[in-house]
Amino acid sequence: MSILVNAQSKILVQGFTGTEGTFHATQMIEYGTNVVGGVTPNKGGTTHLERPVFNTVDEAVKQTGADVSIIFVPPAFAADAIMEAAEAKIGLIVCITEGIPVQDMVKVKNYLLDSDSRLIGPNCPGIITAEECKVGIMPGFIFKKGKIGIVSKSGTLTYEAADQVAKAGLGISTAIGIGGDPIIGTTTREAVELFMKDKDTEGIVMIGEIGGGMEAEAAYWIKKNGTKPVVGFIAGQTAPAGRRMGHAGAIVGGAEDTAAAKMKILAECGVHVVESPANIGITMANVFKR
């Protein structure tokens, strides 16, 4: 089982013929992902990677039935690409693009309020259902099929956690990199809720970082509604106050934004908190032995 994407998902690539789109679409196809075509304005009617190219998302959806879109569009045009996908009724939109202006994402966030589309990202590695479907830029070979869901703000730590969980013999159901920008689509809590509802996901790894309140929001939801074990890690434990670390959203704005404060909240809400990412896999394995 999985959340959001699986082997039957029909994937559309926006920015299909560009350098990034070409490289990662090739990797996705080699992984077995059902890429049905792509969009590049003014190149409609051609083919690329043996898939059809369309001028618009609406045209692509009508001809291929695509229900998932992944966006490799430059920052200046990415917001319009997200809204175009939503207007075409794409159910899941994954935006890899980083550097989208905050004011553009404000417009996107407001636009999606009246839409049935779900956004993952921007500035994220994407989503992968192990050994079925990769919609993103993550190294697919790390993700072995299993029963643990991963939600993470950090791409690199997503891969580390997946490798550890696989080596612990548990494997991955689905992993979601939600992105580290100040304004994103799917939040940590929303991803956790999806995993809690998935009958074949038996445990959850939640990786956060300094800045913002998403981890605390997720923790309070877990305390009230959680039915599965959650292992949590917060990156940025040595970050000085007021300093942005890595992601645009990773800046400590108040006392509750620090790693220590978040770790305390998670622990108080029943999350199994680890101080080092090296302990994620073994901690989850030990939880299942209890």
Residues involved in catalysis: 247
Spell out the residues 6+ positions from residue 62 whose beta carbon is closer than 8 angstroms to its own. none
Distance between CA atoms of residues 162 and 194, nearest Å: 18
Characterize the bridge pairing of strands 230-235 and 203-209: parallel
Distance between CA atoms of residues 5 and 68, nearest Å: 8
Alpha helix positions (H), 65-154: 75-87, 102-112
Distance between CA atoms of residues 146 and 140, nearest Å: 14
CB atoms within 10 A of CB 193: 17
How is 1-48 classified by DSSP, letter by letter? --SS--TT--EEEETTTSHHHHHHHHHHHHHT--EEEEE-TT-TT-EE
Exposure of 259 by Cβ count < 10 A (0-12 exposed, 13-18 middle, 19+ buried)? buried
**Where does 196-281 show beta strands of DSSP type E?**
203-209, 230-235, 272-273
Phi/psi for 111 (5° steps) reads -65, -40
CB atoms within 10 A of CB 138: 24
